[in-house]
């Protein structure tokens, strides 16, 4: 009998994080973990979500944001959210390890610009198709999608055509999708942590790389690699995720509050990124950087390289996505 009582006690501690509040419950604390520091779009979006949810619920829900990997690295806090130790987290395509289609949030050369991506991802059908089956497989629900910026090339020499990329030693994140796209462009991809990039550039280990404007400006990459090519080949997209069991256990009205807070906080980040990109262009040019638009021919060649990289999703293998064609056609339909 004692052993049975101990077992029940342990079980109550394990499942406490998964228990949704009953109707009329007192204030509920929601923990949400992220990897970016304060001031970054991801973290600002998490704070905005908490602010909106608090207002909608009349103070019933109090969101506590833990940015800058305070609750562990991405894999750790994703696992904590799946277990229900915490209710929510923010991350990007790291969730593709659980469900391959999630990598398609950052499909190379899929979107022309932020407006195109916003139509497809911010409440659009493309977002729904990517997430089809994800909650059942992962135990997580994707509440929204918001941009951290398009990735652009930075280099020590001008890039005027695909020929200029051939054999160029460029840093790439150690992610199959990114490495595959670099290979299709003829780039000699050099996987390494972003923190090592400035030293690698100084030592001649690499000739450049690609990053969103936020990273280029933060580390003043334009002082080392003055040529910034607005290739916009991959849009970095992050999302707010919630434990599915917790979400389904919420009262119906409360779920509507969570959904609305997610939509409005995503809108906030999309608007924020549009303004930040304009400011980044000014910061780079004021700092001596030289920004150039790829020629139509260069852009078309990158588009073809992007399409070749989609084989990662279409060919049989661990990364194959069953509804890949439907996803790609949907994104195309949002193009204007």
Work out the widest C-alpha separation in the chain, in whole angstroms: 77
Percent of the chain with pLDDT over 90: 86
**Residue 17: inside a domain:** yes
pLDDT higher than threshold 90 for residue 15: no
**Residue 4: inside a domain:** no
Spatial separation of the C-alpha atoms in residues 85 and 307, rounded to whole Å? 40
CA Rg value for the chain: 21
- CATH, residue 65: 3.40.190.170
**Residue 2: inside a domain:** no
Q: What's the structural domain count of the chain?
A: 1
**Residue 3: inside a domain:** no
Q: Please, are residues 34 and 67 in contact by the beta-carbon 8 Å criterion?
A: yes
* Residue ranges in 22-69 assigned as alpha helix (H): 41-56
Q: Please, are residues 236 and 215 in contact by the beta-carbon 8 Å criterion?
A: no
**Residue 325: inside a domain:** yes
> pLDDT class for 22, splitting at 50, 70, 90?
low
Q: For 273-300, how does the pLDDT look when each residue is reduced to its tens digit (9 = 90+)?
A: 999 988 999 999 999 999 999 999 999 9
On the 0-12 / 13-18 / 19+ scale of CB atoms within 10 A, 125 is: middle
Q: Please, are residues 126 and 327 in contact by the beta-carbon 8 Å criterion?
A: yes
On whether the pTM is more than 0.85, the answer is yes
**Residue 6: inside a domain:** no
Q: What is the pLDDT of residue 195?
A: 83
pLDDT higher than threshold 70 for residue 5: no
Report the candidate in 140, 171, 125 with the shortest Cα–Cα distance to residue 240: 140
**Residue 5: inside a domain:** no
pLDDT higher than threshold 80 for residue 73: yes
pLDDT higher than threshold 50 for residue 317: yes
> pLDDT class for 1, splitting at 50, 70, 90?
very low
Q: For 117-136, how does the pLDDT look when each residue is reduced to its tens digit (9 = 90+)?
A: 999 999 899 999 999 999 99
Q: What is the pLDDT of residue 100?
A: 96
**Residue 66: inside a domain:** yes
Residue 145 phi, psi dihedral angles, 5° rounding: -145, 135
Report the candidate in 155, 166, 147, 185 with the shortest Cα–Cα distance to residue 299: 185
Report the candidate in 65, 58, 152 with the shortest Cα–Cα distance to residue 113: 152
Looking at every residue in the chain, the average pLDDT score rounds to 92
* Joined tokens for residue 58: 């009349």
Q: How much is the average pLDDT of 40-69? A: 97
* Joined tokens for residue 203: 């030592």
pLDDT higher than threshold 80 for residue 68: yes
Note every long-range contact of 301-304, with CB atoms under 8 Å and residues 24 or more positions apart, other chains counting.
Answer: 301/161, 301/162, 302/109, 302/162, 302/185, 302/231, 302/233, 303/109
pLDDT higher than threshold 80 for residue 11: no
Q: Look up the domain containing 236 and give its range.
A: 12-333
* Helix count and strand count (H, E) for the chain: 14, 10
Residue 93 phi, psi dihedral angles, 5° rounding: -80, 10
């Amino acid at each position: 009998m004692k052993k049975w009582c101990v077992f029940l006690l342990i079980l109550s501690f394990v499942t406490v994080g998964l228990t949704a509040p009953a109707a009329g419950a007192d204030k509920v604390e929601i923990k949400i973990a992220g990897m970016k520091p304060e001031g970054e779009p991801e973290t600002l979006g998490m704070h905005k979500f908490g602010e909106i949810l608090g207002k909608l619920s009349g103070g019933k829900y109090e969101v506590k944001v833990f940015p800058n990997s305070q609750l562990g690295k991405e894999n750790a806090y994703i696992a904590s959210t799946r277990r229900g130790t915490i209710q929510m987290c923010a991350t990007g395509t790291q969730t593709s390890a659980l469900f391959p289609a999630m990598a398609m949030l950052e499909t190379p050369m899929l979107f022309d610009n932020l407006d195109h991506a916003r139509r497809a991802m911010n409440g659009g059908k493309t977002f729904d198709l990517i997430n089809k089956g994800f909650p059942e497989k992962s135990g997580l629900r994707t509440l929204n999608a918001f941009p951290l910026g398009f990735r652009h090339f930075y280099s020590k020499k001008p890039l005027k055509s695909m020929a200029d990329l051939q054999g160029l030693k460029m840093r790439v994140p150690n992610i199959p999708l990114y490495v595959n796209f670099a290979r299709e462009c003829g780039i000699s991809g050099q996987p390494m942590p972003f923190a090592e990039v400035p030293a690698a550039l100084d030592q001649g280990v690499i000739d450049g790389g690609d990053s969103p404007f936020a990273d280029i400006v933060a580390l003043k990459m334009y002082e080392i690699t003055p040529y910034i090519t607005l290739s916009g080949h991959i849009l970095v997209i992050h999302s707010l995720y919630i434990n599915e069991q917790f979400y389904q256990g919420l009262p119906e009205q409360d779920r509507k509050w969570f959904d609305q807070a997610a939509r409005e906080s995503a809108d906030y980040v999309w608007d924020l990124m549009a303004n930040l990109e304009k400011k980044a262009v000014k910061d780079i040019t004021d700092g001596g950087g030289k920004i150039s638009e790829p020629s139509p021919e260069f852009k078309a060649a990158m588009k073809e390289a992007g399409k070749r990289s989609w084989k990662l999703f279409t060919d049989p293998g661990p990364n194959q996505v069953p509804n890949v064609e439907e996803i790609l056609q949907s994104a195309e339909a949002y193009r204007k």
